[in-house]
């Protein structure tokens, strides 16, 4: 009886091992391709990955006429000893015009041999129509002979159904002026593009600095300096008008 039990246990073990062996099979499909920014490792624990980027020229110095950016394309699987082309195309929803609003610097879309990523460089051009309109440049990754697009999206909010898209990436481009976050009317007066541009010219200040880092003491100093400048220009016969046609002035605390 004891021997029979041992025999049955041995047969069960062999059957189990055979079954497990059959279940372990090597994946033979095409590797998956995706936008790296949407599925890369987090830089810090609270970081939120995204499938779109806003490019705004509104708080850049007037001399800046373009912006060079990049997209990283990544793939799952092992590197190979040959270049593998991938397919990327503008989505039909795009409103940005190639040659006018943007250009693609490199046109060789392939994962190079011994690599798992490729970088596409884009240049966005600052145009006058961006002052009144947002433009969209949307890219789709498509399946081809080298790569699949099986990893398409992840639901990030079950309530709203919001998704993080792995195979579509969007660029929003504009030059629509926005009031810097740290602009205080009490010191700088009513905000306007013309006033901001004059401050950039006279003070040589970066609008981005005024949006994120400027202190209250600096804001007051800027307001007083600019009001003195406006007064001097008026005394010299050069009355500077704001966008509303009225004499430009700084805030009440800077008078």
Place of tokens 């003070």: 203
Q: Is residue 15 part of a domain?
A: no
Residue 243 is encoded by which pair of tokens? 């966008």
DSSP letter assigned to residue 225: H
The whole-number pLDDT of residue 236 equals 94
Share of the chain above pLDDT 90, in %: 67
Q: Is residue 46 part of a domain?
A: yes
Q: Averaging pLDDT over each range in 205-209, 212-216, 245-249, which range is the top one?
A: 245-249
Q: What is the mean pLDDT of residues 1-28?
A: 47
Same domain for 191 and 170: no
Cβ atoms of 89 and 139 within 8 Å: the answer is yes
The whole-number pLDDT of residue 254 equals 92
Distance CA 156, CA 78 (A): 28
pLDDT, the chain, mean: 87
Task: For residue 23, name the pLDDT band (cuts at 50, 70, 90).
Answer: very low
Same domain for 235 and 190: yes
Last residue of a domain, one of 129, 155, 174: 174
- How many domains does one find in the chain? 2
Same domain for 57 and 167: yes
Same domain for 61 and 117: yes
pTM exceeds 0.85 = no
Cβ atoms of 147 and 86 within 8 Å: the answer is yes
Range of the domain at 161: 33-174
Same domain for 165 and 52: yes
Picking from 13-17, 122-126, 150-154, 165-169, which range would have the lowest pLDDT averaged per residue? 13-17
Same domain for 225 and 163: no
pLDDT tens for residues 135-182?
999 999 999 999 999 999 999 888 888 899 999 999 999 998 888 999
Q: Is residue 21 part of a domain?
A: no
Same domain for 194 and 113: no
With a cut of 70, say whether residue 202 has pLDDT above it.
Answer: yes
Reduced to 3 states, what is the DSSP secondary structure of residue 211? helix
The whole-number pLDDT of residue 30 equals 86
Task: For residue 207, name the pLDDT band (cuts at 50, 70, 90).
Answer: confident
Distance CA 199, CA 83 (A): 51
Same domain for 61 and 135: yes
Same domain for 243 and 121: no
Q: Is the dihedral angle over the CA atoms 237, 242, 247, 253 positive or is it negative?
A: negative
Neighbours of 104 (CB within 10 A): 16
Q: What is the mean pLDDT of residues 115-126?
A: 96
Task: For residue 63, name the pLDDT band (cuts at 50, 70, 90).
Answer: low
Reduced to 3 states, what is the DSSP secondary structure of residue 148? strand
Same domain for 217 and 167: no
Distance CA 2, CA 76 (A): 52
Q: Averaging pLDDT over each range in 2-6, 36-40, 209-213, which range is the top one?
A: 36-40
The string of DSSP letters for 2-44 reads HHHHHHHHHHHHHHHHHHHHHH-----SPPBEEEHHHHSPPSS
Q: Is residue 212 part of a domain?
A: yes
Residue 119 is encoded by which pair of tokens? 């970088």
Neighbours of 143 (CB within 10 A): 15
Picking from 2-6, 46-50, 70-74, 111-115, which range would have the lowest pLDDT averaged per residue? 2-6
Q: Is residue 12 part of a domain?
A: no
């Amino acid at each position: 009886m004891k021997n029979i039990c041992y025999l049955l246990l041995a047969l069960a073990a062999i059957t189990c091992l055979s079954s497990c062996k059959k279940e372990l099979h090597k994946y033979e499909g095409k590797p998956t391709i995706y936008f790296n920014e949407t599925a890369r490792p987090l830089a810090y624990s609270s970081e939120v990955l995204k499938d779109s980027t806003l490019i705004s020229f509104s708080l850049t110095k007037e001399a800046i006429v373009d912006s060079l950016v990049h997209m990283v394309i990544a793939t799952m699987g092992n590197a190979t000893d040959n270049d593998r082309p991938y397919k990327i195309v503008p989505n039909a929803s795009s409103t940005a015009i190639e040659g006018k609003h943007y250009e693609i610097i490199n046109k060789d879309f392939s994962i190079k041999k011994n690599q798992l990523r490729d970088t596409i460089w884009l240049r966005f051009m600052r145009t006058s129509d961006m002052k009144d309109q947002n433009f969209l440049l949307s890219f789709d990754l498509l399946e081809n002979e080298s790569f699949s697009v099986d990893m398409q999206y992840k639901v990030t909010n079950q309530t709203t159904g919001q998704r993080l898209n792995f195979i579509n990436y969007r660029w929003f481009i504009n030059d629509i002026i926005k009031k810097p976050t740290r602009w205080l009317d009490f010191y700088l007066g009513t905000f306007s593009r013309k006033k901001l541009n004059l401050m950039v010219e006279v003070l040589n200040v970066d609008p981005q600095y005024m949006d994120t880092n400027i202190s209250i003491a600096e804001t007051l100093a800027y307001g007083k300096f600019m009001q003195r400048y406006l007064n001097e220009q008026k005394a010299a016969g050069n009355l500077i008008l704001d966008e509303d046609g009225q004499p430009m002035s700084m805030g009440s605390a800077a008078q």
